[in-house]
């Protein structure tokens, strides 16, 4: 049995040479990381997850034969929803990235990622549940800005009070929930209450969902351009 604090990983990529290089890189920059096993694609992963120990994070490519990354993520969300997914791919098409984010992947990195950023991403996903770079956030925001909005607004918008709106504004920043509590002069427990209330009112399940909702319905104003 592995000790507490170990980050259990699985690699899913059809390029064996890349997998071996990634394993060496992970061993160099993340001493608490352990590779449980490797898989060539989604079908191979399905077979091995049945008998192998369940990982904390799966590092996955997008383009793979047999069962690609998109289909594999969809299957994982249905069959193993507690396993977090970090995509590592050369695919930078906005529509693919946005699809992956909407499916619930916890991070998206390019294969030329710097070693330190990879380690940062793994630790952030393990400890905080999510890691998004400025590049990926920009892709997501751009996609949402292109969405054609209807005149009818979701009911949840009218149900928010002023303090919840203020919290939502801060949630769209890089501040942690603890820092937001300090900014609003509230206890972390109260902030958790605002977050859970908005999850229910807006029908979202994560902080990314809150940000996507806020951008889509113009609740927050974006000052940067892409």
Q: Are residues 151 and 55 in the same domain?
A: no
Q: Which residue range(s) make up the domain with 125?
A: 7-143
CATH number, domain at 197?
Answer: 1.10.10.10
Q: Are residues 35 and 129 in the same domain?
A: yes
Domain count across the chain: 2
Residue 154 maps to a domain:
yes
3-state secondary structure of 217: coil
**Each residue's pLDDT tens digit, 86-134:** 999 988 777 788 788 878 888 889 888 888 999 999 999 999 888 877 6
Residue 139, pLDDT score: 63
3-state secondary structure of 75: helix
Residue 92 maps to a domain:
yes
Residue 151, pLDDT score: 40
Q: Are residues 131 and 188 in the same domain?
A: no
Residue 89 maps to a domain:
yes
Half-sphere exposure of 45 (CA within 13 A, CB side): 31
Residue 222 maps to a domain:
no
3-state secondary structure of 12: strand
3-state secondary structure of 95: helix
Residue 225, pLDDT score: 37
Q: Are residues 139 and 160 in the same domain?
A: no
Place of tokens 């079908």: 43
Domain boundary among 112, 143, 174: 143
Residue 44, pLDDT score: 95
Task: Tell me the C-alpha distance between 53 and 19, whole Å.
Answer: 19
Residue 226 maps to a domain:
no
The beta strands (E) that lie in the chain are given as 7-12, 33-39, 57-60, 84-89, 107-110
Q: Which of 28, 24, 17, 105 is nearest to 59 (CA)?
A: 105
Residue 173's Cα: distance from chain center in Å? Answer: 16
Q: Are residues 133 and 155 in the same domain?
A: no
Residue 223 maps to a domain:
no
Q: Are residues 161 and 107 in the same domain?
A: no
Q: Are residues 160 and 107 in the same domain?
A: no
Q: Are residues 84 and 103 in the same domain?
A: yes
Task: Tell me the C-alpha distance between 206 and 198, whole Å.
Answer: 10
CB 50 within 8 A of CB 10: no
Q: Are residues 135 and 23 in the same domain?
A: yes
**Each residue's pLDDT tens digit, 147-156:** 544 444 555 6
Strand partners, 26: none
Residue 225 maps to a domain:
no
- For 115-171, the DSSP string reads HHHHHHHHHHHHHHS----HHHHHHHHHHHHTSPPPSPPPHHHHH--HHHHHHHHHH
CATH number, domain at 90?
Answer: 3.40.50.2300
> Which parts of the chain sit beneath pLDDT 50?
148-152, 223-226
Task: Tell me the C-alpha distance between 79 and 200, whole Å.
Answer: 24
Residue 224, pLDDT score: 39
Residue 148, pLDDT score: 40
CB 165 within 8 A of CB 220: no
Q: Are residues 21 and 101 in the same domain?
A: yes
Q: Are residues 18 and 110 in the same domain?
A: yes
Residue 224 maps to a domain:
no
Task: Tell me the C-alpha distance between 84 and 104, whole Å.
Answer: 9
For the packed helices 69-79 and 94-103, what is the interaxial angle rounded to 10 degrees? 10
Residue 5, pLDDT score: 81
Domain boundary among 143, 171, 204: 143
Q: Are residues 58 and 108 in the same domain?
A: yes
Domain boundary among 143, 161, 178: 143
């Amino acid at each position: 049995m592995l000790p507490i604090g170990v980050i259990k990983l699985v690699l899913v990529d059809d390029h064996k040479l890349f997998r071996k290089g990634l394993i060496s890189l992970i061993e160099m920059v993340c001493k608490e990381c352990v590779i449980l096993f490797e898989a060539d694609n989604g079908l191979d992963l399905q077979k091995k997850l049945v008998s192998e120990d369940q990982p904390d994070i799966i590092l996955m490519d997008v383009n793979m034969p047999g069962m690609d990354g998109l289909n594999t993520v969809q299957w994982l969300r249905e069959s193993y929803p507690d396993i977090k997914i970090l995509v590592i791919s050369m695919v930078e098409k906005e529509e693919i990235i946005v699809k992956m984010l909407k499916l619930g992947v916890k991070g998206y990195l390019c294969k030329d990622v710097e070693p330190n950023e990879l380690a940062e991403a793994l630790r952030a996903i393990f400890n905080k549940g999510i890691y998004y770079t400025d590049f990926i956030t920009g892709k997501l925001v751009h996609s949402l800005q292109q969405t054609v909005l209807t005149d009818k607004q979701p009911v949840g918008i009218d149900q928010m009070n002023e303090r919840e709106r203020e919290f939502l504004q801060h949630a769209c920043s890089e501040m942690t929930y603890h820092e937001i509590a300090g900014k609003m002069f509230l206890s972390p427990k109260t902030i958790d209450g605002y977050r859970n209330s908005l999850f229910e009112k807006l029908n979202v399940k994560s902080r990314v969902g809150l940000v996507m909702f806020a951008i889509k319905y113009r609740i927050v104003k974006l000052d940067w351009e892409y």
